[in-house]
């Protein structure tokens, strides 16, 4: 009997300084103390990724404009030095339910991202973030790694208790929502410009989801925009960059960052939504074949753990499964 071949193309499916020692707890619970850090750059490049990235020159110094002579240290009882960084309003930061999307060159301009993040905290009731938990992740596009460090430091500067960030800053849009609900977080940042192309010359975006995983309502996005028009300072914690390449917890006084597996909570949700054993039985049939095209986007981080490891699909059923900062010059979904 002839073997039939069914080829599926799936896109966006719901599968879809100072000298100090830093305390870090690894995923297995052991406590590690790093060597003393004699100095650090405010936005130093993060360590190498677990997937290939574009070898491009990142002009880090311009992302956040901080001068020792102009920033003011704020004494905080939590034990973290908070710098009050002077800034001024920047035009064009009108926010919609899909967040704020601009060219990378705009976001990497002086204080552009920092202003928007601070304006967001200025717009939220303190009980929605003070000593709370926020999630952070993105689609792996260019500038996400640097942006992650900026967001973490401003979150700490505004009194957030903990950040849950996907390994390497990776976490798909539906996965962020899943983690928010599973971990009972106060909300989460999603670094994505959806299907818009990525890379130094292309697009970047940021949006905020609330505690049920839904996009921030218009009442909040309107406040964010209003605060971008009157912002005068950014509250920035004086802490080193977080190593996003390894799972585990890094603690600074009463603030901590946990680097989490971006797939596990999402996969657990999928197990409750779909009959994965039934799907696995389909994929194991000799007369059924399929191709999943991850388009070098965030879905590539989920393809192997879900389709291959969980559902038993052949590894060669995954096409373009390595996330790239420019998505291989394609237009992927987030």
The answer to whether 194 is a known catalytic residue is yes
Distance CA 283, CA 277 (A): 10
Task: Burial-class residue 11 by CB neighbours within 10 Å (0-12, 13-18, 19+).
Answer: middle
Q: What is the DSSP string of 77-113?
A: TTS--EEEEE----S----BTTBEEEEHHHHTSTTHH
Give the pair of three-digit tokens for residue 137: 């992740």
CB 129 within 8 A of CB 121: yes
Contact 47, 245 (CB under 8 A): yes
Q: CB neighbours of 110 closer than 8 A, spacing ≥ 6?
A: 62, 64, 65
From the list 148, 192, 194, 256, the catalytic residue is 194
Report the distance separating Cα 211 and Cα 184, nearest Å: 7
Nearest to 160 by CA among 206, 122, 182, 128: 128
Q: Which residues form the catalytic set? A: 194
């Amino acid at each position: 009997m002839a073997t039939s071949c069914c080829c599926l193309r799936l896109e966006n499916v719901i599968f879809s300084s100072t000298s100090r020692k830093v305390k870090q707890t690894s995923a297995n619970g052991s406590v590690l103390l790093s060597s003393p850090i004699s100095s650090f750059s405010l936005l130093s490049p993060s360590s190498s990724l677990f997937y290939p990235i574009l070898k491009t020159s990142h002009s880090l110094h311009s992302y956040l404009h901080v001068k020792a002579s102009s920033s003011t240290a704020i004494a905080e009882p939590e034990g973290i030095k908070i710098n009050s960084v002077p800034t001024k309003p920047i035009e064009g930061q009108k926010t919609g339910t899909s967040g704020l999307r601009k060219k990378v060159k705009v976001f990497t301009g002086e204080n552009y991202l920092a202003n928007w993040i601070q304006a967001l905290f200025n717009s939220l009731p303190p009980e929605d973030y003070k000593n709370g938990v926020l999630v952070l992740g993105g689609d792996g596009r260019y500038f996400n790694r640097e942006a992650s460090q900026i967001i973490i430091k401003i979150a700490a500067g505004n009194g957030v208790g903990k950040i849950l960030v996907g390994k390497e800053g990776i976490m798909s849009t539906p996965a962020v929502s899943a983690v928010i609900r599973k971990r009972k977080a106060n909300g989460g940042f999603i670094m994505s410009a959806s299907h818009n192309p990525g890379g130094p010359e292309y697009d970047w975006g940021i949006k905020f989801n609330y505690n049920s995983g839904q996009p921030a309502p218009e009442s909040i996005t309107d406040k964010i925009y209003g605060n971008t028009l009157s912002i005068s300072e950014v509250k920035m914690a004086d802490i080193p960059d977080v190593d996003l390449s390894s799972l585990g917890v890094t603690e600074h006084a009463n603030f901590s960052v946990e680097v989490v597996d971006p797939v596990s909570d999402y996969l657990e949700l999928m197990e409750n939504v779909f009959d994965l054993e039934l799907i696995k039985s389909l994929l194991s049939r000799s007369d059924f074949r399929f191709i999943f095209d991850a388009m070098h986007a965030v879905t590539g981080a989920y393809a192997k753990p879900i389709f291959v490891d969980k559902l038993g699909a052949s590894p060669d059923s995954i096409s373009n499964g390595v996330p790239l900062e420019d998505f291989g010059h394609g237009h992927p979904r987030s």
